[in-house]
Structure formats: structure tokens, C-alpha cells
Structure 1
Amino acid sequence: MKIDTITSRDNPALVRLRKLGSEPGGYRKTGSVWIEGDHLLRAALQRGWTPVLVVATEAAMQDAVLRALAEQAPRVLVVPTALFKALSGLESPAQIGAELTLPAASAIDANAASVVLDRLQDAGNVGAILRSAAAFGVRQVLALKGTAALWSPKVVRAGQGAHFGLRLIEGLAADDLAALAVPLIATSSHTEHVLNRIALPSPCAWVMGHEGQGVSPELMARCALTVGIPQPGGEESLNVAAAAAICLYESQRQKA
């Protein structure tokens, strides 16, 4: 392990990481991602990821727990708090962050329980759905073109570590979903099937659509089943991340 103390804002590594942390799709060019905070770093380590580089404040290196996390990387950059703030996308910056190399693009697992994201725009929604997928044992998430970048800093923060246990494939077209051998299911307010009153296929792929437009007609036509979520309170619709959590829970409940 190599530890370097950095005091210049113009250090090449810091310049690169600032750019990586400020561009939502920057990871697509570099093949690496910047994560911030001990929670995300710990989650990555627990899933077998090894950071290529850790940046820690001087104060963090005086903390035994944070120093132990930093020392999991082959290289550690120790910086003043002011320099770390320049890397941060948070109002209250953490004391430690890391660069991780992303795995090579995966092929679709035809038989895996999955979530399909159809042009979701909000990073918070995307991250929350990834978190629900991981919580309910769904290990594959397929994002169609137009969906928020899965490894963007905002999505990673919203995912709270879920990314590191998921097979994530993005930039797909609807036709690519033909590779799935499991049936697609979407939610709809125009169906006679009610989520908790119908036997759900298992495994399946839950399709979650654009926040305003819903699932595209092309993708809806590929679905083997549409179900409605009971809403006795009378609201017109649910937030897509809330809907995803309910559907994934029901799939898991019926399997139990």
C-alpha cells in the first residue's frame, strides 16, 4: 500500500476524480466510478469489490475505523478537508471516498428475476428501485436507453450500496429484452388483475416506466401480464419507486 499526502488542487488524480464525480455519465468513458462516504465503501468491500484508490482527509486517517477502510486500497491519497470538499457532491462532505473499477459489461441472464427500467429520469427513483431490488433478492436490473445513468453519483448515493450486489446492464433497446426467458409484468390502472389477488410467475421481470409517460406501448406489448396495485385512498398513481417496492415485495411474499 502506498500513502501519498496531497496538498495541491491541481494534482492529476484529484482533477480526474473531480471530473468523474461531476459528470453523471463520466464512468462510461473511464470505466471507473467515484463513491463517497464510509457506508458505500464498506458496502463495496463486503461484496468483494477492491478500490483502486482511496482519498481520505487527514482527520479520517487519524480515525482507526476509517483508516482501516482506507488501507484496503493499494493507494491512498491523504488530503486536507478543503481539498476533499472540492471532490464532494454532498452538502456535508464525508471524510473518505474511493475509486472503483467497474466490471466488464455483462450479458443478460435469461432466467434471472429482473427489473426493467424504461426511461426513468429521476436519479433518486432509480437508486431507490435498485435498493429495493437488492433487498428483495432480485439481482438483475436492465435499463433501457433514456434511463438515468445507473452509476451516476446521484444514483449511487440513492442506491446506498445496492449497486455492488446487482448485475446492472444499461443502454438497452426494447428488442434486447427478447433475450429474457422470464415473463415481463407491468403495472396498469387498466387491468382486471389485482397484484395481491393473482398468482405471479416466478421468476419474472418487473417493468417500471417513465415517471410521466409510464411504460412505452412497445414495451407494454411485450408484457405477459399487467396488474393493478390497490389504492383505496383514491390517488391516481403511485411514485414509480414506491410501486416497484410493492411489486417486488409481493413477488417475494408469494415465493415464501
Structure 2
Amino acid sequence: MEMITSAQNNKIKSANKLKKKRERDKTGQVLIEGAHLIEEAYKSHLKILQLFAVDIERLDDNLVNYVEEVYEINIKVAEALSGTVTPQGFFAIIEKAHIDVTGAQQVLLIDRIQDPGNMGTLIRTADAAGIDLIVLEKGTADPYQDKVLRASQGSVFHLPIVTEDLSTFIRKFNGNVYGTALENAVAFNQITSQEKFALLLGNEGEGVNPELLDQTTQNLNIPIYGKAESLNVAIAGSILLYHLKG
């Protein structure tokens, strides 16, 4: 097994380029960090092109044998690759999954949500609720960004996520589409659970694009009984997803 001791090594420099969304989009590859995320990518049968580890013995032998190229690294190289202050010492380059969006029955639509924590939490909730597909409007936080990956706890690898024009998707979707809005909306608990639906959530500050809200079957809100001005979008989305699932 080859040992890499310099952050100037070409393989490390190439891996670091994947921290930029533009490079991820161009190559179809993602740099992930941490034993847990690497194990989740392996369990999801994603192609793992390269593995970089400070202590390879701590990883499952089947996982290590599955990877195309394995490298041992030192702490200095781990710090250069890491998105955190204290690196775990495990990194991998994976290939994004190829996704077929046809046939999705229960879909989460996300319009320009920016916060990585909110984004990761919504992906994790959608995964837990058994949602078939997540569709992102352009301008939404990248699901393969380091902080989103960490917040999702690997759920990014468990369900299909695509970027597509939401207006076009809503027009083609053969089911009820529910938006989230303060005005011209009904309380969510007036709607019954259903087999086929899409839930549309919007930007933390601006909410959903009004043009998209005009395309929905019905817009929903969550009554607030206390003094809070509003609910965090990830919390609101979680409540609504589980309600619609029944």
C-alpha cells in the first residue's frame, strides 16, 4: 500500500479540488470524510474510487477490498484534506449515483434552502420517512457539500437527489403538490395522508417562490400556539412529511 506524506501530492491536490461544487459537478465525484460516511457509501453500493486513511486497520476488510485504490496518509495530509478542525483520518472519493427519477410516488421539493444544517436534516428526515425522491431548485445548498453530508449522517447516499427546474417537475408530477405558505393556506392537519404527493419547501428567509406556490394543489401552514414567530424550515418540513405519509 502506497504511503502519502505530502499535501502537495497530486492525488491529494485532486481530492481537495472536489471541495468545490463546480469540480464535483464536472467530474461526478465527491470527497467524503469520516469512517461512518465511507461505510454508508459502501453499504449503498456506490463506487469508491480512492480511500485515504491514517489507520487502515480500523476499517472493515470488506470495505477496504471493495475500494479501487487505497492509500495510507499521515496526520499532516489528513489536516490538509479535512473540513474539520480535528480530522478523523479517513477520506474517500466516491462516484455520485446515477438516478432514475421516473416512478417516484412521494417527493420532497426544495426551493433554494441555503443552510447546510437544514438541508442535511431534511435529507435525513426524508430518508427516515421513506421518501422516494428529493428534487432541488438551482440555487439550493449542494447535498454533497461537506457540512450537508455530515448533517445528513449518510442519508444523502440512501435516496435519489436531483437538481431540476421545479416548475417543470410540478407540471409533470401526477399527484397532489403541497406548498408551504403563510397566506392562502390551510392548516396541515386538514389534509389527509396519501399514497402519492409532493411537498414543496422554500428558502429560510423568503419562503417558496410565489410562482411555484401558484402551481400547487394546496398550500399548507402549521399553526403556532405559542409566541414563536415561525418554525425552522427543517422542523416544519419534518412535521409535514410525516403527516402526509400518515
TM-score normalized by structure 2?
0.92
- Tell me which residue corresponds to 2:56: 61
- Tell me which residue corresponds to 2:190: 197
CA–CA separation in structure 2 for the residues paired with 1:115 and 1:196:
18
**Post-superposition CA distance 1:219-254 (Å, at most 9, x none):** 0011101122122113221111111111112123x2
- Tell me which residue corresponds to 1:81: 75
Residues 25 and 151, structure 1, Cα contact 8 Å, conserved in 2: no
- Tell me which residue corresponds to 1:34: 31
Residues 181 and 208, structure 2, Cα contact 8 Å, conserved in 1: no
Q: What secondary structure, in the 3-state scheme, does the structure 2 residue paired with 1:134 have?
A: helix
Percent of aligned positions with the same letter in both sequences? 30
Residues 7 and 76, structure 2, Cα contact 8 Å, conserved in 1: no
CA–CA separation in structure 2 for the residues paired with 1:33 and 1:182:
33
**Post-superposition CA distance 1:15-39 (Å, at most 9, x none):** 0111212x14431011100110011
Q: 1:132 aligns with which of 120, 125, 134?
A: 125
Which blocks of at least 5 consecutive residues in structure 2 are unaligned? Answer: none
Q: 1:5 aligns with which of 3, 6, 14?
A: 3
Residues 54 and 97, structure 1, Cα contact 8 Å, conserved in 2: yes
Cα deviation, residue 153, structure 1? 1.9
Which letter does structure 1 place at the counterpart of 2:142?
Answer: A
Q: 2:215 aligns with which of 192, 202, 222?
A: 222
Q: What secondary structure, in the 3-state scheme, does the structure 2 residue paired with 1:231 have?
A: coil
Matched, 1:243 2:241: no
Question: Structure 1 residues 108, 49: closer, same or farther in 2, change over 3 A?
Answer: closer
Which letter does structure 2 place at the counterpart of 1:174?
Answer: S
Q: 2:42 aligns with which of 41, 45, 54?
A: 45
Q: What secondary structure, in the 3-state scheme, does the structure 1 residue paired with 2:186 have?
A: coil
**Count of matched residue positions in the alignment of Structure 1 and Structure 2:** 246
Matched, 1:102 2:90: no
Which letter does structure 2 place at the counterpart of 1:61?
Answer: I
TM-score normalized by structure 1?
0.89
Matched, 1:164 2:179: no
